[in-house]
Amino acid sequence: MDQSPPGPPSIDVAEILRTRAGETTALHERYLNRQMVRVLGALGFDRTWVGAEGAHLIDDAGERYLDLLGGFGVYGLGRNPPAVRAQLERVLEAGTASLPQIGLTLLPGVLAEELIRRAPAPLDAVLLTNSGAESVEGAIKLARAATGRPRIVYCESAFHGLTLGALSVNGNAEFRDRFGPLLPGCDQIPFGDLDALRRELARDDVAAFLVEPVQGKGVHIPPPSFLPEAQELCRRHGTLFALDEVQTGLGRTGRFLALEHWGLEPDLLLLSKALSGGYVPVGAILASRRVFDGVFDTMERSVAHGSTFGQNDLAAAAALAALSELDDAGLVKRSRRLGDLLLELTRPLVVRHELVHEVRGMGLMWAIELGPPAGGGRRTWEFVERRQPGLLAQLLVVPLFRRHRILTQVAGHHLNVIKILPPLVISEDDLRAFVSALDQSLHRAAPLGRATAGLTLGMARRTLLGSRARSAAPPAETA
Ligand SMILES: Cc1ncc(COP(=O)(O)O)c(C=O)c1O
């Protein structure tokens, strides 16, 4: 072996970060999703991000932006949380024997133990995955195999990911179009409609009812009795009650799991996003041993489901560190307290601004819904909505970003709902600054609602898109 001291690596990541930040857009334009590059440019969201810390992103000019999207909920602990990083560094130093595949390692076992310790009683077995969608795919397979039934029932507006199985239970046509045929046996009910669920389950052929406790698209909170009664209906008909807490889990709604708001005991529970500690993709399916053993029922079937990276040590370490930090820093309680404060500060906006129809939230999962103003403004609103649905919500998102350096996003295609998922470590001052910026942006948007329709549309387009990209559709949440 050559004994000379090692030179720099031929691809040196540290050097790349130091010298090539200015090429970011060009590289994406050339090799990645160039339509996204266009959209970001058209809206003026095309910053070059070079750093991140806590609830802030930092651009190449050194400007800090308050990140209220939190990577679609990945950054529950904030960006680059030191406590998680320290534990990851220790695992790297240890040089563990990750992924022997024909063999077992310790950290995934301890992670499963910690997850089960925090979950309600019927859940006592874990399957580790790499993402939210992979957790959903696994849940569909587990439910079908464990019950011997074909059908999955899900909700309108549901979002469970974009892989083909997850897409088959996605309640938003704009994501499904062009990708069919999707999985057979997947049927939709309105979110909150117990009669519709009762009708579907009565056929006794439904493997699972899959539902988000609070829907991410639009931040819809179900009627109080919906989830407990849905669970009861599932029990009665031998259907597995599957909760997708990929977004709502890990303190997001002010409880460790959103299911705690209703005392639910699901048969399947799906996690991902914030479980990663913001560093390493990871997901988990928690199931009852009865369901689990219904799938992995013989030695031959020990590999009935899984994936190459499912049990990797670094992901398990990130998840363990994330669970630890949630406890150690009291972030679940903090989410509840700041969530209550946010509602208290924003509810008056409904009275102060004609355009605001509702604010709603649970913990630090929060949304504001715009609607047509009273009087003449209503016709203007309807005209703009017909021409470009959801455009008016961008009247807030764009100035929040450009003027106030606050990153938010429209909560779904064609929705006039703006949603935030702030890191749970966000400071009270930052939260108050957001409310003040929102209030100012609403004041500025008000005259648009009262202008004549054509003028409003023109003003909105100029405000949002400038003259550069009239055809660019403003992006809505995609994950
Ligand atoms: C509730 C829910 N389930 C599943 C997913 C899919 O997760 P991923 O993007 O990691 O595949 C998401 C993503 O936003 C989600 O919000």
Distance 246 CA to ligand 1 centre (A): 6
pLDDT, residue 472, reads 46
Q: What would the 3-class secondary structure string for the chain be? A: CCCCCCCCCCCCHHHHHHHCHHHHHHHHHHHCCHHHHHHHHHHCCCCCEEEEEECEEEECCCCEEEECCHHHHCCCCCECCHHHHHHHHHHHHHCCCCCCCCCCCHHHHHHHHHHHHCCCCCCCEEEEECCHHHHHHHHHHHHHHHHCCCEEEEECCCCCCCCHHHHCCCCCHHHHCCCCCCCCCEEEECCCCHHHHHHHHCCCCEEEEEECCCECCCCECCCCCHHHHHHHHHHHHCCEEEEECCCCCCCCCCCCCHHHHCCCCCCEEEECHHHHCCCCCCEEEEECHHHHHHHCCCCHHHHCCCCCCCCCHHHHHHHHHHHHHHHHCCHHHHHHHHHHHHHHHHCHHHHHCCCEEEEEEECCEEEEEECCCCCCHHHHHHHHHHHCCCHHHHHHHHHHHHCCCEECEECCCCCCEEEECCCCCCCHHHHHHHHHHHHHHHHHHHHHHHCCHHHHHHHHHHHHHCCCCCCCCCCECCC
Atom of ligand 1 minimally distant from the CA of 272 = 10
pLDDT, residue 221, reads 98
Active site residues: 159, 244, 273
With the most atoms of ligand 1 within 8 angstroms of its CB, the residue from 246, 257, 282 to mutate is: 246
Q: Please tell me the residue having the least CA distance from ligand 1 atom 10.
A: 132
With the most atoms of ligand 1 within 8 angstroms of its CB, the residue from 154, 157, 160 to mutate is: 160
pLDDT, residue 470, reads 41
Distance 279 CA to ligand 1 centre (A): 16
pLDDT in tens, the chain (479 residues): 566 778 889 999 999 999 999 999 999 999 999 999 999 998 899 999 999 999 999 999 999 999 999 999 999 999 999 999 999 999 999 999 999 999 999 999 999 999 999 999 999 999 999 999 999 999 999 999 999 999 999 999 999 999 999 999 999 999 999 999 999 999 999 999 999 999 999 999 999 999 999 999 999 999 999 999 999 999 999 999 999 999 999 999 999 999 999 999 999 999 999 999 999 999 999 999 999 999 999 999 999 999 999 999 999 999 999 999 999 999 999 999 999 999 999 999 999 999 999 999 999 999 999 999 877 678 888 888 888 888 888 889 999 999 999 999 999 888 999 999 999 999 999 999 999 999 999 998 876 555 555 555 665 665 565 544 444 445 666 66
Residue 251, Cβ neighbours under 10 Å: how many? Answer: 26
Q: Please tell me the residue having the least CA distance from ligand 1 atom 11.
A: 133
- pTM, full prediction: 0.95
pLDDT, residue 468, reads 45
Distance 152 CA to ligand 1 centre (A): 17
Residue 381 token pair: 């609103």
Q: Which CATH superfamily is domain 24-77+331-465 in?
A: Aspartate Aminotransferase, domain 1 (3.90.1150.10)
pLDDT, residue 4, reads 73
Atom of ligand 1 minimally distant from the CA of 161 = 6
Distance 160 CA to ligand 1 centre (A): 5
Q: Please tell me the residue having the least CA distance from ligand 1 atom 16.
A: 247
Tokens 């006592």 correspond to: 124
pLDDT, residue 454, reads 56
Assess if CATH 3.40.640.10 describes domain 83-328: yes
Name residues contacting ligand 1 (CB within 6 A): 72, 131-133, 136, 159-161, 212, 216, 244, 246-247, 272, 479
The residues spanned by each domain of the chain are 24-77+331-465, 83-328
Atom of ligand 1 minimally distant from the CA of 134 = 11
